Copies of this chain bind each other. A is one copy, B any other.
Amino acid sequence: MVLATNRRIGQENSTTRGLLMDGVERVMIDEGYASLTARRVAGSVGLRHQIVYYYFLTMEDLIVASFRRRAAQVIMRVEEAIAQPEPLKALWAVHAEPAHAALTVEYLALANHNEAIRRETVNFGERMRRVGLDCVAARLGVPVDGSGVISASALTLALSSLGAILGMEAAIGINGGHHELHALVVWCVDRLQGQSG
């Protein structure tokens, strides 16, 4: 894909540019990453496909920009969540939302085959883990360095992973065992820190 680019490119703070990123998420949730075409994305916000190439060099650039915008939003939501009275449960809840989980699956699949998205995902994962880690360590009085068996990083990873899987399954209509697992996790979390988890 060689680009012969002396094309004009629109402003970063443009409304339409943001609309196109909204379109990426809409299409991804409704139809999956395979349907992320300039025609579908632009069409979903009432525009023609050529507008994509006014704001972005390639479709991939639009997708990467959308991923970054969402990553920043998720980090913010997690930071808000863990500032609440029961941060561990909030950490779980953020990941467990089905619509959020469905998008996560799409980007995860994309990351397996697209180098740019893979790099962004690894980077995002590291930032997320750090945010969760500080919270868990501070609230639980558990070693951050992994010297004990119950480490902050193991707990953070376990909580967000289980939340995410339950969200992914719920999104496609699998519910078996979810209630029981949720009860078990709440039980563990409460046991680990009284009422503040």
Residues in A lying within 8 Å of B, measured CB to CB: 30-35, 102, 105-106, 108-113, 118, 121-122, 125-126, 129, 146, 149-151, 153-158, 161-162, 164-166, 168-169, 171-174, 176-181, 183-184, 187
Contact = CB atoms under 8 A, between A and B. Distances in A.
Contacts of A111: 172
Nearest to A129: B176
Nearest to A132: B177
Contact of A177 (B34, B102, B156, B183): B156
Contacts of A150: 184
Contact of A146 (B118, B146, B180): B180
Contact of A151 (B106, B149, B180): B180
Contacts of A157: 176-178, 180-181
Given A105-B105, A161-B165, A173 B122 contact: yes
A192 to B, nearest CB: 12
A15 B122 CA distance: 40
A56 to B, nearest CB: 19
Nearest 9 pairs of A and B residues by beta carbon: A34-B34, A153-B177, A161-B165, A154-B180, A157-B177, A32-B113, A154-B184, A109-B109, A154-B181
